[in-house]
Amino acid sequence: MLRMKDILDEKDKRLRMVSKEVEFPLTKKDKELIQSMIDYLHDSQIEELSEKYDLRPGMGMSAIQLGVPKRYFVVVNEIDEGEFETYILINPKIISNSVEKIYVEMGEGCLSVNRPVEGIVPRYARVTMEAYDMEGRKIHVRAREELAICFQHELDHLNGILFTDHIDKKNPFKGKDQYRAI
C-alpha cells in the first residue's frame, strides 16, 4: 500500500524530469503501480481511511510522483459521497481547450508540495484529453471545472512542471480579475 513517504517531495529533482511515453502492453509493474495509485487516491478521500492510514487527501497522482518517469496519471474524482469516478490516462495530451480560464480560489494543492502555497494558477475551464487506456486503446475524455484543473495539473507533472511554477513570485494573485474562481 502506498504511503505519504512514497510520494516524492517538491525538492526531489526527479519531479523535474520529462516523463517518457509508455509502450504497450503495460508491464505487470506498471499495472500494479496504477492500482496502488487508485487505491491511495480513493482511500485518501474517505476521512476514516485517510486518518487510519495517515494519507494526505488527493484527487490525482502522476507516476513521476512515485519516481517512475512514465507518461501516465490517475485521477479519482468523488462525484457523490462515497461514489467515485476513476480515470487512468496513459500518454495523455490536450487536444482542445476552452478560451475561458479559471483558478482554485482556495489555492491548488499537490501531494508533492507539503506546505501551503497561495496564489493564482490559471487553468483552462474545459479540456478534452486524448490518451490511452490500460489495454492501449485510444480514449477521449472531456473535463470541466475541478476535473479539468486536475487533469492539467497532472499533465504538468509529466512535463516536469509543478503548480507553483505557474504562480507569479512577485505578485501571487496577478490576474485574479481576469479569471473565474471556482
Q: Side by side, which strands form the sheet with 123-124?
A: 123-124, 101-103, 180-181
Contacts of 46 (CB under 8 A, 6+ apart): 82
Give 86's strand partners: 76
What is the set of active-site residues?
154
CB 57 within 8 A of CB 44: yes
Nine-digit cell string for 93 = 495530451
Which value, to the nearest 10 degrees, does the dihedral of the CA atoms of residues 10, 37, 50, 120 take?
A: 40
Q: Is residue 86 within 8 Å of residue 76, measured between CB atoms?
A: yes
CA atoms of 116 and 150, how far apart (whole Å): 18
